Amino acid sequence: MQDQHTGVRDLERYADGQLDGIEWVAVHAHVQECEPCGRLAEQAQWFAEHRNAEPADFDPADFEDGDFESWDVENPDWPADPLPAPAEVHPPGWSVVAGAAAVAALVAFAVGRALGAG
């Protein structure tokens, strides 16, 4: 149920010029009497006018004074490589083989000693 105030959809349609006949008269009368709805209607009207506006033109000479830094211009204050280099990863090699051989020798010695002592 819509209260005494004009709905937002009606204000948008009013600002876009989409209301006809009695709908337009009712919304227009309410907007003239109700200050909050009048402000909302003004905002909706401004938005309707600027919604599809072309972007503002600019003069490229405005950016040649040296103050403008483009995103693709190298900044000398930036570090050469902001990310640290990954640590060198060496695949397991002879150290793993030597460690496994040492463990196997200790196990064999322990098993032989346990069986020989028994």
pLDDT tens-digit map of 55-104: 666 666 666 655 555 545 555 555 566 566 777 877 778 888 899 999 99
CA distance 28 to 38: 9
Per-residue pLDDT, 113: 86
Contact 116, 109 (CB under 8 A): no
CA distance 77 to 7: 54
Token pair listed for 30: 């309410």
| % residues pLDDT > 90 (the chain) | 11
Strand, helix or coil at 89? Answer: coil
The pTM of the whole model exceeds 0.85? no
Residues 6 or more apart whose CB falls under 8 angstroms from that of 14 comprise: 6, 24, 27, 28, 31, 41, 44
